[in-house]
């Protein structure tokens, strides 16, 4: 089935460790996105990419890094510089950046101990 | 993109229609209204979008007022599985480098 796969679903890490969250899509979409969600809040945009080897910072990019070496993959690294990394992370994709119809993965819940 | 205002929460009896309002009084002529929903601990799901005409699909209907300053998402026969947070988003079509901005949405509770 076509869709977006995020892994892992749950992740626990010690403070100060870098963490990489995986996001893979087989929808042949050009655009991919990472959002962060805190309890009771809306989604905040971390990074987005409209094409391979290109990505742009969103509203809260500090402490995060991404890469887009393949069309299907858009991994997010939560670095030790991110002061409050415990959150629910959502990856999405769309045909391109112009459409408002995004397809989301199931999310990755990161807890930093 | 124009700002939207939604109630924080709503209740609906199972089997009845759920009518979720959204105000977007500063919407411009080429901005679309999008609706998404997010079931607890899952990723958001696209529901429907429209410009000025009413729209209907297998999930819901979208009613946009003639002046386009507000809209209503209608779930005709709500079930317990429709319990979710519903987001109303206004966005320019083909707006280039501006991904969707999600607010806090409306938490809909469908009650048996």
For residue B30, pLDDT over 90 is answered with no
For residue A40, pLDDT over 90 is answered with no
pLDDT tens, A52-102? 999 999 999 999 999 999 999 999 999 988 889 999 999 999 998 888 899
Q: Choose among A48, A58, A106: nearest Cβ to B43.
A: A106
Residues of A in contact with B100 (CB under 8 A): 100, 102
pLDDT tens, B34-73? 999 999 989 999 999 999 989 999 999 999 999 999 999 9
Residues of A in contact with B99 (CB under 8 A): 33, 45, 48, 58, 97
Q: What is the pLDDT of residue B97?
A: 58
Taking the CA of residue B29 and the nearest CA in chain A, the distance in Å comes to: 16
Q: Which residues in chain A belong to E strands, given as ranges? A: 4-7, 10-13, 19-25, 31-37, 43-51, 54-57, 64-66, 76-78, 87-94, 103-104, 108-112
For residue B2, pLDDT over 70 is answered with no
**B94 with A98: Cβ contact below 8 A:** yes
For residue B84, pLDDT over 70 is answered with yes
């Amino acid at each position: 089935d076509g869709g977006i796969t995020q892994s892992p679903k749950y992740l626990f890490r010690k403070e100060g460790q870098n963490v990489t969250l995986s996001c893979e899509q087989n929808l042949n979409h050009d655009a991919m996105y990472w959002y962060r969600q805190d309890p009771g809040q809306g989604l905040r945009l971390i990074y987005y990419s409209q094409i391979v080897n290109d990505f742009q910072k969103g509203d809260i990019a500090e402490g995060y890094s991404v890469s887009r070496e393949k069309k299907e993959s858009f991994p997010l690294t939560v670095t030790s510089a991110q002061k409050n990394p415990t959150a629910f992370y959502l990856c999405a994709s769309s045909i391109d950046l112009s459409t408002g119809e995004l397809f989301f993965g199931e999310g990755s819940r990161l807890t930093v101990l | 993109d124009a700002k939207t205002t939604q109630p924080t929460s709503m209740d609906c009896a199972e089997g009845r229609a759920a009518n979720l309002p959204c105000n977007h009084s500063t919407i411009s002529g080429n901005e679309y209204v999008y609706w998404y929903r997010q079931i607890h601990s899952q990723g958001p799901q696209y529901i429907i979008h429209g410009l000025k005409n009413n729209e209907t699909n297998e999930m819901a209907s979208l009613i946009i007022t003639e002046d386009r300053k507000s809209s209503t998402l209608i779930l005709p026969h709500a079930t317990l599985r429709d319990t979710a947070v519903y987001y109303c988003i206004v966005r320019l079509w083909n707006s280039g480098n501006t991904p969707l901005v999600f607010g806090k949405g409306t938490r809909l509770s469908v009650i048996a």
